[in-house]
Homo-oligomer: A and B are copies of this chain.
């Protein structure tokens, strides 16, 4: 590294940030910019196959910080459960093949939801007994499926990394809504088999965050630190309401210090879903991410 150049050795580019790039293009861009790693989405991995994806990343001298994503574990019918288990076993094998031990899980929403962004079923007189809205039971099914998958993950040296999602997504994407809940779900399992990710976008608002990050560290479960900002107004699709660090409301220095205080020594992954950023020139996006990381995150690690 050139003297005085920023140290990006712990910075990882999640391929969702440069959504339009192929895997090879994203890896090349990250490597040229001096990043230390990449976080991969399964769609980009599957385009080339897991073996070739592993080679592309290794040849560029980068690490795979995580694979996104497993999950969607909330089905209540036998076919849905079998399908979820099969898909997640495939994801576990993929994670091991691409060379990461960390498989991020987005666990899925309520059965009552017909799909992301669609309206709930209309009210009917049966709604009172509608098991599909039973959040407690839905969360229990997530716990059951994690127990089903944990031995398989352990055999493959892959950690199930539970991602708490912002409560805005509790109905349609993930019934794990807080870091504390993720840690409670992980608790029955060894720390190297079930961990958690701290994504600033999802947890920044939590009044208990400092203590929960400390707990994740003390329990050896802090598998990934992901950063991007909460911006307003929300995009029409709230999934795309993420911004560069510094463009929104999140206090990155403070949260980063809480993470660093645990002794976390892993990568810092940047995963931004944002149409405007996707429409921008990729090298400029990669440079802006590096600049914001250098100013707002790295000094506090």
Contacts and interface: CB of A to CB of B under 8 A. Distances in A.
Interface extent on A, as a size class?
35 or more
Interface of A is mostly: loop
Indicate the member of A135, A136, A168, A251 with the most B CB atoms within 10 Å: A251
B133 A249 contact: yes
A148 interface: no
Contacts of A113: 232, 249
A205 B247 contact: no
Interface string A26-47: 0000000000000000000000
Interface in A171-194: 171-172, 176-178, 180-181, 184
> Considering the complex of A and B, which 8 residue pairs feature the smallest CB-CB distances, nearest first?
A123-B246, A170-B205, A171-B249, A181-B207, A167-B205, A133-B251, A127-B246, A168-B168
23 contacts: A113-B249, A119-B232, A120-B247, A120-B248, A123-B244, A123-B246, A133-B249, A133-B250, A133-B251, A134-B251, A134-B254, A135-B251, A135-B254, A136-B251, A136-B254, A167-B167, A170-B249, A176-B207, A177-B207, A178-B206, A180-B208, A181-B207, A234-B238
Interface of A: 110, 112-113, 117-120, 122-123, 125, 127-128, 133-136, 139, 166-168, 170-172, 176-178, 180-181, 184, 204-208, 210, 230-234, 236, 238, 244, 246-254, 292, 295-296, 299
A296 B128 contact: yes
